[in-house]
């Protein structure tokens, strides 16, 4: 049903577009020294935001980012009907303690680093369905809390392989609405769990690339589009290792996205100077890049249409230590301006 609401097996095309009323992004100190620093709404100097732990700091980061997005949309907190939010921490504690004061009905999401795409997708479906006038989609990640949970204590100062990525300290939030604006979400393609059997948790790019390739391929099929129909196809945090695999996988399927591909993880840090190795990662990586740099490029007319494809690596220390592979998932969102 090409012109209908449902397209193909995995895609929706919104008859009435959903508008992005505002976006907000607050990033950490290291991100504030990177190439995207001028596009962040705020850069915090203290990664704990004055709290007692990395986790409380991440919650404060999401709290301030959501509050800023609501202010920029010129609406009241009570105008927001639903909150779609998630983070990387076990049981979403960054989100729980970050959103508690807003007292907005919450749909807690876990899509690993694809969560920003999952939230924008469900948020857009909710607005388009007439279930709400305003919703907020938000995601966060934090280097300190993520390293502590997934890898080693920071004090241990472990070496990091060149394939590893650096978890972005940052949060992005978006207010979605049916009120007409300049930037809109016109479609989504929802990803499946894809597992190529990669077991290296220090090579997330390789774990996630097959899921990104799968959802991008399905999107182009469902919408009957070519890569050139997009100014950019933006993956979340594949890094340079994952990018190579993604481009190869899609070429094998007949799509060459080389000229339009951009990976947020490869944009956010200045390597090798910032020594992050393969690039940035985390829910916050794609969230702050979209809310900052990409939204800016839409407003300045540099971008007309992108496919935003945050990528998630689905694993925990438990599944990893039990010898499980690290499957991936990715969710694609079509964002464009009126031509």
Residues at the interface with its own copies (CB under 8 A): 5-6, 9-10, 12, 52-53, 55-56, 78, 81-82, 86, 88-93, 96-97, 99-100, 103-112, 118, 121-122, 125-126, 128-132, 148-149, 190-193, 195, 314-319, 322, 324, 327, 329
- Strands 42-43 and 232-235, sheet pairing: unpaired
Burial of 246 (0-12, 13-18, 19+ CB in 10 A): buried
CB atoms within 10 A of CB 102: 18
Shortest distance in whole angstroms from residue 333 CB to its own copies = 13
Asked whether the beta carbons of 310 and 330 are under 8 A apart, the reply is yes
Q: Which residue lies nearer to its own copies by CB, 73 or 330?
A: 330
Q: Strand, helix or coil at 105?
A: coil
Q: Which residue lies nearer to its own copies by CB, 34 or 86?
A: 86
Cα torsion 242, 244, 245, 246 to 10°: value is 80
Q: Is 235 left (phi over 0), alpha (psi -120 to 50) or beta?
A: beta
Q: Which residue lies nearer to its own copies by CB, 36 or 176?
A: 176
Q: Which of 293, 296, 21 is nearest to 182 (CA)?
A: 21
Q: Which residue lies nearer to its own copies by CB, 274 or 324?
A: 324
Shortest distance in whole angstroms from residue 327 CB to its own copies = 6
Asked whether the beta carbons of 29 and 43 are under 8 A apart, the reply is yes
Q: Strand, helix or coil at 130?
A: coil
Q: Which residue lies nearer to its own copies by CB, 191 or 292?
A: 191
Rounded distance between C-alpha atoms, residue 299 and residue 295, angstroms: 6
Q: Which of 279, 284, 275 is nearest to 243 (CA)?
A: 279
Rounded distance between C-alpha atoms, residue 170 and residue 273, angstroms: 20
Q: Which residue lies nearer to its own copies by CB, 307 or 329?
A: 329
Shortest distance in whole angstroms from residue 86 CB to its own copies = 7
Asked whether the beta carbons of 184 and 19 are under 8 A apart, the reply is yes
Shortest distance in whole angstroms from residue 322 CB to its own copies = 5
Q: Which residue lies nearer to its own copies by CB, 5 or 154?
A: 5
Q: Which residue lies nearer to its own copies by CB, 274 or 316?
A: 316
Length of the chain, please?
339
């Amino acid at each position: 049903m090409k012109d209908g609401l449902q397209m193909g097996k995995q895609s929706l095309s919104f008859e009435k577009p959903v508008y992005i009323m505002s976006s907000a992004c607050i990033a950490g100190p290291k991100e504030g020294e990177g190439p995207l620093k001028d596009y962040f709404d705020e850069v915090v100097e203290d990664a704990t935001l004055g709290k007692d732990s990395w986790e409380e700091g991440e919650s404060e980061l999401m709290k301030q980012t959501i509050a800023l997005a609501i202010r920029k949309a010129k609406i009241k907190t009570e105008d927001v009907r639903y909150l779609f939010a998630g983070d990387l921490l076990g049981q979403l504690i960054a989100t729980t303690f970050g959103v508690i004061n807003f007292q907005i009905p919450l749909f807690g999401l876990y899509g690993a680093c694809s969560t920003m795409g999952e939230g924008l997708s469900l948020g857009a479906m909710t607005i388009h369905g007439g279930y709400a006038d305003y919703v907020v989609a938000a995601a966060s990640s934090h280097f300190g809390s993520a390293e502590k949970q997934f890898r080693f204590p920071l004090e241990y100062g472990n070496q990091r392989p060149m394939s590893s990525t650096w978890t972005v300290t940052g949060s992005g939030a978006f207010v979605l609405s049916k009120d007409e604006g300049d930037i809109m979400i016109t479609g989504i393609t929802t990803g499946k769990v894809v597992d190529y059997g990669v077991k290296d948790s220090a090579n997330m790019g390789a774990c996630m690339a097959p899921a990104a390739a799968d959802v991008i391929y399905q999107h182009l099929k469902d919408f009957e589009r070519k890569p050139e129909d997009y100014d950019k196809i933006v993956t979340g945090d594949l890094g340079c290792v994952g990018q190579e695999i993604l481009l190869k996988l899609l070429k094998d399927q007949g799509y060459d996205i080389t000229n339009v591909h951009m990976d947020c993880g490869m944009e956010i840090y200045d390597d090798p100077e910032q020594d992050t190795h393969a690039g940035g990662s985390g829910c916050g990586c794609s969230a702050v890049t979209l809310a900052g740099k990409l939204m800016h490029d839409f407003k300045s007319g540099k971008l007309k249409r992108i496919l935003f494809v945050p990528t998630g690596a689905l694993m925990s220390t438990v599944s990893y230590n039990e010898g499980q592979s690290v499957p991936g998932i990715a969710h694609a969102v079509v964002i464009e301006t009126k031509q």
